[in-house]
């Protein structure tokens, strides 16, 4: 975190009680009716392409999103959105880089996962949340806050935080009209990317989202763990969204996104019901699926992938 961000974080935190006085009546005012625009969550397994998808959608579409400035003022989210809109209005962030989803060093308007925002309501220690995991008070708080943001800014709100994959059931209760963009990547390359992250960060420690059966996977080899992680997260997503209206779910393949980003963005524009900030013709993504680890390890990952039915998600 740079010096300016460090200063802003402490300033916002110190002034939070005063900012709350500004917010409270505004939230009540704007939360008094159901929003016309949707809240949309981007979900999928870690390293599935969710970050680049998030960056593309928030850069080229007229939508709201949590940027690094809003994340710094996370105790006062309504205020953060108001301030960000005042400073940046509808400007593109032009950020397509990240450090495993983290964009702190790429500017205050770069899209943020905003992970700590959710720990106010969702315990950091709990892995998976059932539909009635949250108290009625928390459900009301979350709904009022995000309805107020949606109604104030009058545009769809895009959120990408992969821990959301374990909070889907309560989110469908909080937001009855919620929409989900599910991104999937070819399993072997998805698992390989997690394997590389584990190698770089700490091979001995679990990285990113834990599936519900996480404790049963700890005795597996690293090559087995990363495949199981992808499979059981995707399995949980499909189970938890089983009762959601199909019109509120869209599935995107990472390979389609990198091969023809314009076609996918047009599809998403219609799904989100928003408009583009500019012509989408010249968008290119510098990314591809390729073997980036020792061939022997990749073969182990691929063989582990072949143990699963990636269409029906039944236990092997």
Residue 236 covered by a domain: no
Nearest CA-CA partner of 155 in 40, 32, 24: 40
In a domain, 53, yes or no: yes
Evaluate whether 61 touches 111 at the Cβ level (below 8 Å). no
- The count of domains in the chain is 1
**137 lies in a domain?**
yes
Range in 26-40, 272-286, 290-304 the model is least confident about? 272-286
Mean pLDDT confidence for 129-149: 98
pLDDT computed for residue 223 by the predictor: 97
- Does residue 17 have a pLDDT over 70? yes
Domain-located, residue 158:
yes
- Evaluate whether residue 232 is within a structural domain: no
Q: Do the domain assignments include residue 259? A: yes
pLDDT at 202: 79
pLDDT of 261 over the 60 cut? yes
Q: Which residues pair with 15 in a beta bridge?
A: none
Residue ranges making up the domain that contains 114: 3-186+246-294
- Answer yes or no: is pLDDT of 78 > 90: yes
Both tokens assigned to 287: 């990314």
Residue 70 lies in a domain: yes
Q: What SS3 string covers 4-44? A: HHHHHHHHHHHHHHHHHHHHHHHHHHHCCCCCCCCEEEEEC
In a domain, 218, yes or no: no
When pLDDT is cut at 50, 70 and 90, the band that residue 54 belongs to is very high
Q: How far, in Å, CA of 179 to CA of 171, rounded?
A: 10
């Amino acid at each position: 975190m740079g010096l300016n961000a460090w200063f802003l974080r402490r300033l916002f935190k110190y002034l939070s009680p005063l900012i709350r006085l500004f917010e409270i009546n505004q939230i009540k005012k704007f939360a008094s009716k159901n929003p016309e625009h949707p809240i949309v969550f981007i979900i999928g397994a870690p390293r599935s392409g969710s970050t680049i998808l998030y960056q593309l959608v928030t850069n080229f579409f007229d939508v709201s999103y949590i940027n690094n400035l809003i994340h710094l003022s996370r105790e006062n989210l309504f205020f953060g959105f108001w301030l960000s809109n005042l400073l940046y209005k509808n400007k593109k962030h032009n950020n397509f880089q990240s450090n495993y989803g983290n964009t702190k060093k790429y500017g205050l308007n770069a899209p943020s996962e905003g992970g700590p925002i959710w720990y106010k309501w969702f315990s950091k220690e709990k892995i998976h949340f059932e539909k009635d995991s949250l108290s009625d008070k928390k459900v009301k708080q979350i709904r009022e806050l995000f309805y107020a943001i949606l109604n104030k800014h009058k545009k769809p709100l895009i959120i990408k935080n992969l821990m959301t994959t374990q909070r889907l059931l309560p989110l469908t209760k909080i937001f009855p009209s919620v929409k989900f963009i599910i991104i999937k990547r070819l399993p072997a390359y998805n698992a390989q990317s997690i394997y590389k992250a584990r190698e770089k960060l700490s091979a001995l420690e679990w990285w990113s989202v834990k599936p519900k059966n996480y404790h049963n996977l700890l005795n597996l080899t690293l090559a087995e763990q990363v495949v199981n992680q992808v499979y059981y997260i995707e399995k949980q997503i499909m189970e938890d969204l089983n009762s959601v209206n199909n019109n509120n779910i869209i599935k995107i393949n990472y390979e389609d996104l990198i091969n023809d980003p314009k076609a996918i963005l047009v599809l998403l524009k219609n799904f989100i019901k928003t408009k583009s900030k500019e012509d989408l013709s010249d968008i290119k993504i510098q990314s591809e699926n390729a073997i980036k680890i020792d061939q022997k390890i990749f073969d182990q990952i691929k063989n582990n992938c072949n143990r699963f039915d990636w269409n029906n998600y039944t236990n092997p």
